[in-house]
Amino acid sequence: MQFQSAILAVSLALVAWQATVAIAEAPTPGPSAGEAKHPITADEREFFEASIRPVLVAKCYSCHSAEAKTLRGDLHLDSRAGVATGGATGAVINGNDPDTSTLIQAVRWTDPYLQMPPTEKLTDREIASLERWVQMGAPDPREAVVATIAAKQIDIAAGRQSWSFQPVAQIEPPALPNDAWSKNRIDRFVIAKLNEGQIASSPKAERDMLLRRAYLDLTGLRPTFDEVQAIVNDNAPDAYERVIDKLLAMPQHDERWGRYWLDVVRYGEDNFRGKRPRRRSRSPGVIGIG
């Protein structure tokens, strides 16, 4: 049946999604101790403080530091270890050679796919300072290894408690001694929760109203006049159930709910990493995972 296969599809999507999340959050090793020149001389320290730190703070930290709202390119430039570790595509400093160091290539804006900072090129002077810094071996007095680099831990046991990993079980609806409201087993769960929150149930909906709600819920569309008339005049006890089956079988039902399921897996029509297509590392279409 269409509805069941849809449910199966969404369950599989959820499981796949959770698995992806689990992989994405698996502990990653923190940066190793900086390979940059260290300890450094007084001159090197002065050069760093006068010409490098101010550039990094003013022009890079907003995207490449622990304070960044979102860390970009997996690159921390706010610690020696972060610079030494590099970013999503590896080391950003190559020995003492500015020309082959990604960090310098990025600030020179010669690579159309990697231009840093993205919105405004550094001044020639700032670029020259960074080049000189690389030639010197990137001496860096910054000690603190940024705390937020610490690997995220995942609690596998807690993850297994998620509802979507529970086996199907027969659950008894709550027993309600003075219940005149429920018409079926699901209603008993509803009324138990309403009682718990001391909330009165809404008044019973007339047939045309009920039909309108079912249509909007399941297909996002309103029923036509003829469809409303058909159910208002249908006195069979299973009239409502038949309408629901019809709605569940409509392609508009799949379209409406497919949209929510795609939100769950964070699908987006977006040319992900469009600025640097050759560096794409994840499948286009599914964005933001990990």
Contact set with ligand HEC (CB under 6 A): 59-60, 62-64, 72-73, 75, 86-90, 92, 102-103, 106-107, 114, 116-118, 122, 273, 275-276, 279
CB of 281 to ligand HEC, least distance (A): 8
- Nearer to ligand HEC (CB atom), residue 87 or residue 223: 87
- Nearer to ligand HEC (CB atom), residue 212 or residue 276: 276
CB of 18 to ligand HEC, least distance (A): 26
CB of 59 to ligand HEC, least distance (A): 4
- Nearer to ligand HEC (CB atom), residue 80 or residue 188: 80
- Nearer to ligand HEC (CB atom), residue 88 or residue 216: 88
- Nearer to ligand HEC (CB atom), residue 69 or residue 204: 69
- Nearer to ligand HEC (CB atom), residue 18 or residue 89: 89
Taking CB atoms, the residue at the shortest distance from ligand HEC is: 87
CB of 258 to ligand HEC, least distance (A): 30
DSSP the chain: -HHHHHHHHHHHHHHHHHHHHHHHTS--PPPPSP-S--S--HHHHHHIIIIIHHHIIIIITTTSSTTSSS--TT---SSHHHHHH-BTTB-S--TT-GGG-HHHHHHHT-STT--SSSSSPPPHHHHHHHHHHHHTT------PPPGGGSPPP--HHHHHTSGGGSPP---PPPP-TT--S-SSHHHHHHHHHHHHTT-PPPPPPPHHHHHHHHHHHHHSSPPPHHHHHHHHT---TTHHHHHHHHHHTSHHHHHHHHHHHHHHTTB----TTTTSGGG--S-TTB-S--
CB of 76 to ligand HEC, least distance (A): 10
CB of 244 to ligand HEC, least distance (A): 47
